[in-house]
């Protein structure tokens, strides 16, 4: 008869860090940041990075063993000058996180002549109805035949399941008519 053997797996607790990064765009910024994260036992979970007007900016979510979180945070400080980095600890313990209400996502698409205040007006309506912006992409481009600039925006918005979109659609359509833009609201599956 074989002796009974019990093996306990070592569980490493991790800290989730949210890094916001901004700096003058240049080759190798992502590699430099990734090398620092990796060399301190960190794992690059997800990110949204972009270059806009010569500036590199983004948000990176990393996990790192608890015992190395302070070490990683300190190692990011010397990157000042190359990148301005802000480090925030995200609650990785789900018991600390408030339960979120069931929700769905909606995509908004907007196109029209560029003018000041479009994002402020649209985001005001969304906030007024309790909708959260999950993703927002905006750009301007030359109008093909009319001259001037066109403003284009695509947003993914989070809507609680108990919120009706009728009032939101009505307010957005009224705004679209007022500022002369095309606007569509599409529920995502």
- Is the pLDDT score of 104 beyond 50? yes
CATH fold, domain 103-187, is Alpha-Beta Plaits (3.30.70)
- Token reading at 153: 């925006």
Q: What is the pLDDT of residue 5?
A: 67
- Token reading at 35: 């090398």
Q: What is the pLDDT of residue 95?
A: 43
3-state secondary structure 145-187: CCCCEEEEEEEEEEEECCCCCHHHHHHHHHHHHHHCEEEEEEE
- Spell out a b/e string for 106-116, using b for 16 or more CB atoms within 10 Å of the CB, else e: bebebebeeee
- Is the pLDDT score of 92 beyond 50? no
- Token reading at 127: 């906030």
- Is the pLDDT score of 9 beyond 70? no
| CATH 3.30.70.260 domain locations along the chain | 14-90, 103-187
- Is the pLDDT score of 152 beyond 70? yes
Using alpha carbons only, give the angle 127, 130, 132 rounded to the nearest 5 degrees: 70
- Spell out a b/e string for 74-100, using b for 16 or more CB atoms within 10 Å of the CB, else e: eebeebeeebebebeeeeeeeeeeeee
Digit-coded pLDDT (tens) for 67-87:
999 999 999 988 878 899 999
CA pair distance 140, 94, nearest whole angstrom = 40
If we measure between CA atoms, which residue out of 140, 132, 135, 125 comes closest to residue 173?
A: 125
As a whole-number percent, the residues of the chain with pLDDT over 90 amount to: 77
Q: What is the pLDDT of residue 149?
A: 93
Average pLDDT over residues 85-109: 76
Q: What is the pLDDT of residue 12?
A: 77
pLDDT confidence band for 98 (50 / 70 / 90): low
Average pLDDT over residues 140-162: 91
- Is the pLDDT score of 161 beyond 70? yes
- Is the pLDDT score of 94 beyond 50? no
**Quick check: 74 and 133 in contact, CB under 8 A?**
no
- Is the pLDDT score of 64 beyond 60? yes
CATH of domain 14-90: 3.30.70.260
Q: What is the pLDDT of residue 6?
A: 62
Q: For residue 32, give every residue at least 6 positions away whose Cβ sits within 8 Å of its Cβ, in sequence order, or none.
A: 79, 82, 83
CA pair distance 105, 8, nearest whole angstrom = 42
């Amino acid at each position: 008869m074989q002796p009974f053997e019990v093996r306990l797996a070592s569980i490493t607790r991790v800290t989730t860090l949210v890094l916001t990064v901004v700096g003058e765009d240049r080759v190798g910024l992502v590699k430099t940041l990734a090398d620092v994260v990796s060399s301190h036992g960190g794992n690059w979970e997800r990110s949204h990075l972009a270059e806009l007007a010569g500036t590199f900016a983004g948000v990176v979510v990393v996990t790192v063993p608890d015992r190395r979180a302070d070490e990683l945070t300190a190692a990011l400080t010397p990157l000042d000058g190359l990148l301005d980095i802000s480090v925030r600890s995200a609650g990785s313990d789900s018991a600390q996180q408030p339960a979120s209400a069931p929700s769905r996502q909606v995509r908004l698409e907007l196109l029209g002549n560029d003018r000041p205040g479009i994002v402020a007006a649209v985001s005001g309506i969304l906030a007024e109805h309790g909708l959260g912006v999950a993703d927002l992409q905006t750009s301007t481009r030359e109008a093909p035949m009319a001259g001037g600039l066109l403003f284009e925006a695509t947003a993914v918005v989070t809507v609680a399941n108990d919120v009706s979109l009728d009032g939101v659609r009505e307010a957005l359509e009224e705004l679209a008519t007022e500022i002369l833009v095309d606007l569509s609201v599409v529920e995502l599956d």
